[in-house]
Amino acid sequence: MMEEDFYSTIKFKNGEEIFCKVSVAEETSDRTLLLISNAIIVEEIKKQNEVVGYKLEPWLKTTTEDLFIVNCDDVLTMSESSDVEMIMMHQDFINQLRSNGNNESEIDRKMGYISSVNEAKILLEKIFKES
C-alpha cells in the first residue's frame, strides 16, 4: 500500500541527515520501506555563530538516479516538513540540477567581465599605478 508523498528530514542511524520527498511503502508486515526522491544534504553557512545561509548538495554525488529505496530499520528519526522556505529551496535546487546537469552555474558575461590572465594583469597594474 502506498501512502501520499510528503517532504521530510530524515536522520539515519549512521549520522547522515537528508531532506527529500518521501513515499512510504509496506512490503511485508514486518518490514517498511521508504521511497525517497531527490534527496539533498543541507549545510548551514554560519558567520560569527549566526546562520547566514544554506549550502545544498545532492545526497549521492556519483549517480544520476533520483529515486532510492531505504529500509526503515536504517532510519533513526524522520520528521515531515511543512516549511515552505525549505521546500522551495529544495525544488529550486532540483530544478537547477535538472536544467544544468550538475550543481554548478555556467559562466556567462552577465556575471561579470571575462578576460584572459594577461588582460586582467594589465588592467590591474593600470589600476594600481593610477591609485
End-to-end CA separation in angstroms for the chain: 72
Q: For residue 24, is it within any domain?
A: yes
Q: Would you say residue 63 has pLDDT above 70?
A: yes
- % of the chain beyond a pLDDT of 70: 83
Q: What's 53's domain CATH number?
A: 2.30.30.100
Q: What is the pLDDT of residue 1?
A: 44
Domain count, the chain: 1
pLDDT at 3: 56
Instruction: Concatenate the DSSP letters of all residues of 60-114 into one string.
Output: -SS----EEEEEGGGEEEEEE---HHHHHHHHHHHHHHHHHSSSSPPP-GGGS--
Give the residue numbers spanning the domain of 13: 6-130
1 part of a folded domain: no
Q: In angstroms, rounded to a whole number, what is the distance separating the alpha carbons of residues 126 and 9?
A: 52
pLDDT tens column, 73-120:
899 999 999 889 889 989 988 888 888 765 455 666 666 666 678 887
Higher pLDDT, 104 or 123: 123
27: in domain:
yes
Q: Is the pLDDT of residue 39 over 90?
A: yes
d(CA 131, CA 125): 10
> What is the radius of gyration, based on Cα positions, of the chain?
21
Mean pLDDT of the chain: 83
